[in-house]
Copies of this chain bind each other. A is one copy, B any other.
Amino acid sequence: MNIDVQLQVQELLARYVQAIDDDRLEAWPDFFTGQCRYLVTTAENVEQGLPLGMIYATSGAMLRDRVRSLREANVYEAQRYRHVIGPPLVEPGEGGEVRARTNFIVVRIMHTGETMIFASGRYEDRIALTGPQGARFVEKVVVLDSRQIDTLLAIPL
């Protein structure tokens, strides 16, 4: 893959996870194109061909609604999250887009200071590199390794 594209994708992902870890959730929808697809699902669902996931949004407006709900529910503030991602595997997509697969682990830090593994999985992204605001996600599929999902609704992944 082109070196410049590889690093653009890597930078987009680094900015994305740092925005979430900084609790700058209001900036989260801006990482997506206006028409987009954001899906959180499990590896089990994907293997069984089940299209549904736990979270599904198809526009920036839906993503913003979601952030508003999180803020009102106020569930997010008591803990911190930290994403660590591996190097993205980038391939050419359709219409000038690129596809990227990236492994991730997220740890959760309780307000007591206790730290635990919160989630692991892979991002399967379609990315538009050009546009007025630079690289953005056209589609982001978050494939979780675990199907324990009780608290997963609390945080963008």
- Quote the shortest CB–CB distance from A61 to chain B (angstroms): 28
Asked if A92 is at the interface of the complex by the 8 Å CB criterion, the answer is no
* Contact between A146 and B109, CB atoms less than 8 A apart: yes
What range describes how many residues of A lie at the interface? Answer: 35 or more
How far is A113 from B13 in the complex, measured between Cα atoms in Å? 26
Known contacts A105-B105, A113-B147, A114-B148; A10/B87 CB under 8 A: yes
Asked if A60 is at the interface of the complex by the 8 Å CB criterion, the answer is no
Asked if A3 is at the interface of the complex by the 8 Å CB criterion, the answer is yes
- For A94-115 the 0/1 string (1 means CB < 8 A from B) is 0000000101110101001111
Contacts of A89 in B (CB 8 A): 11, 14-15, 18
Asked if A1 is at the interface of the complex by the 8 Å CB criterion, the answer is yes
How far is A107 from B80 in the complex, measured between Cα atoms in Å? 18
How far is A83 from B6 in the complex, measured between Cα atoms in Å? 20
A30-38, A65-73, A116-124, A125-133 - the one binding chain B: A116-124
